[in-house]
Amino acid sequence: MDAARLKSIPIFASLSDKQREQVARWTDQLDVKEGKQLVGQDQFGYEFFVIEDGHAEVLQDGARIALLGPGDFFGELALLETDRRTASVVAQSPMQLVVMHRRDFKQMEQEMPAVAQQIERAIRERFRTPAE
């Protein structure tokens, strides 16, 4: 993955250039076609996705619950815990994604704990309620 591309993605934007270069070692770019199911509800998750370009539909029990676009991410719980996916995500257009597997995140936690914590904090903030 090209580290310069990570700079335009909000979850990685606050990292230094050097940190982004290191994170780029643990990420891959994935191009997908419209209609591709990216994750399936009730499947075990092992990777986390950040949308660089394109849009995806989030379905839970077959009903649309969200539409995601550039800068949005999904599958993030796969980095933090081993559990089944709570929803399916399907590409609604051709997409460019940044992908990080759990094993790479765990390696980043060992080698760059401050960066891993920063990314984990951004993920956990997504789940906070307004009262928190």
Whole-angstrom Cα distance, residue 107 to residue 33? 30
Q: Residue 42's pLDDT band (boundaries 50, 70, 90)?
A: very high
User: Domains along the chain?
Assistant: 3-125 (2.60.120.10)
What does the mean pLDDT of the chain come to? 88
pLDDT at site 77: 78
Give yes or no for residue 61 having a pLDDT over 90: yes
Whole-angstrom Cα distance, residue 27 to residue 48? 10
56-60 and 88-91 strand pairing: antiparallel
pLDDT tens for 80-130 read 777 788 899 999 999 999 999 989 988 988 988 888 888 788 777 766 645
Structure tokens at 127: 């789940």
Taking the alpha carbons of 89, 90, 91, 96 in that order, is the dihedral positive or negative? positive
pTM equals: 0.85
Picking from 35, 29, 37, the residue whose alpha carbon sits closest to that of residue 4 is: 29
Structure tokens at 84: 């089944």
Q: Which residues of 42-55 are buried (b: 16+ CB within 10 A; e: fewer)?
A: eeebebbbbbbebb
What order of strands is seen across the sheet that includes strand 56-60? 37-39, 88-91, 56-60, 63-68
Q: Which is more confident, 127 or 41?
A: 41
Q: Which parts of 42-112 fold into alpha helices (H)?
A: 77-80, 102-111
